[in-house]
Structures are given as structure tokens and as C-alpha cells.
Amino acid sequence: MRAYIQYGSTRIDFQLMRSSRKTLGITVKPDLNVLVKAPVNTPIEKVKERLKKKASWIIKQQNYFQAFHPKTPPRKYVSGETHLYLGRQYRLKIRNSLKPEVKLKEGYINVFVNSHSGKEQVKKVLNDWYKERAEIIFRKIYDDVGKEFSKRKILSDIFIIRDMKKRWGSCTPGKKIIVNTELIKAPKGCIEYVIVHEMCHLKYPNHSKAFYSLQSSFMPNWEFWKNKLEKIMS
């Protein structure tokens, strides 16, 4: 069942699942949803009372995960519009050509398309270019970071780059590291931060003190790049 509590001016929605377990557990998922698992006979009032006691922690966790959610507003793909690449703003310039391609020059992202092309074609050509650049840059960073992790026997089986609607990256139970293609718009330090963050989850699937200690050992200035990511991609 779904329900909610009111914590000051904040409404916290949650999903309640009942089972034969003996204790009540609260989980904040990366998609910001709150899952509560409770014993079968636990009154809903008791569940809500527990949630209110944990409300500040829940909000803190949601704010943390929110930092990994892409926030770039929808683009119109018209000349003069600004687009990001590796943390720098470029002006989009649509140019006529029979060969679709993208070139960076003097502060412009030049997208070459047929003069009869609509914005969907411009979007496709630009996004294909972003993906090509992400494959090159992300994998280089991943390989460099991976060398340091391998020294501590922390290894990932698979590294995947793909579009993700709600997260910058993830680490699956099967030890797959997945990174959002959209990160190609952020500075390299931000990309490295997300990869390091997800690699640390190979050893610690939570956000415990041990996790943050490990993350800091690999990237002492991770908080700077985390804040940079939140700022530049908002």
C-alpha cells in the first residue's frame, strides 16, 4: 500500500510492504522512493510514527540521491542555443552539409546537417557525437581509475555507458558499473567522481562511513566535484 506523512511543510510518500519479518525497516531508494517493510500486524499509526522520527534522515538521503539525477532542461536544438561539453558552454550553430557531423570551433558546437533537416535530425547527430565522445573519454577515465582499484582487489566485470533518466551512475549487484552518457556535458573531474563513487559500491553497496572513507582514499576532493556536478548540471 502507499501512504504518506507530513513533516513540517514536506510531504514524504512511502510504500508499505508487510511480511513475516520481526522488525520495521526503512529504505530510501536511488529514485527517491521510500520503502517501508514492516511485520504483518504493525499498525499504520506505528509505521508513520517511526517514519516521523526518521524524517530528517529520509530527507537527507533523498537530497543526496537527487544530486545524481540529471537536471538539464529540455533543448530545442536551434542555432544560438547553449549546450554543454565537458563543463564548458558552447553555442549551437547549425550548418548545411550533405555529411552529418559535429565539430567544435571557437566556442561553437557546429552541427552539420542537410538544410532540410528538422530539429530531430539535429538532435540525433549531436547526441550520436556526445555518445562517441563519452565512449572515448569515460573509458579512459574508467581504465585509469580501475588501475588504482585493482591494486586493492576491487574489480568490476562490466563497464557500460548508456542513457539514464534518473541517475548519473549505478553499480548493480552483478558488479556492472553503468554511467550516464549525459555526464559528457560535465567536467572530467565530475565524471571521475561518479565513476569512483560507483566503483566504491563494489565493496560497500551502502553509504556507510566505510564507504565514504574508501571514496576519500581514492579521491580526497570528491566533495568539490560532487558540488560542481550539482551546480553545473542544474
Q: Which of 102, 192, 89 minimizes the C-alpha distance to 138? A: 192
Give pTM, 2 decimals.
0.70
pLDDT digits (tens, 9 = 90+) for 167-199: 899 999 889 999 999 999 999 999 999 999 999
pLDDT digits (tens, 9 = 90+) for 198-229: 999 999 998 999 999 999 999 999 999 998 88
Burial (0-12, 13-18, 19+ Cβ within 10 Å), 107:
exposed
Q: Give yes or no for a contact between 9 and 29, defined as CB atoms under 8 angstroms apart.
A: no
CA distance 147 to 195: 13
Phi, psi of 72 (to 5 degrees): -60, 125
CB atoms near residue 5 (< 10 Å)? 19
CA distance 168 to 162: 10
Q: Give yes or no for a contact between 102 and 93, defined as CB atoms under 8 angstroms apart.
A: no
Going along the chain from its start, the domains and CATH numbers come out as 2-66 (no CATH), 82-232 (3.30.2010.10)
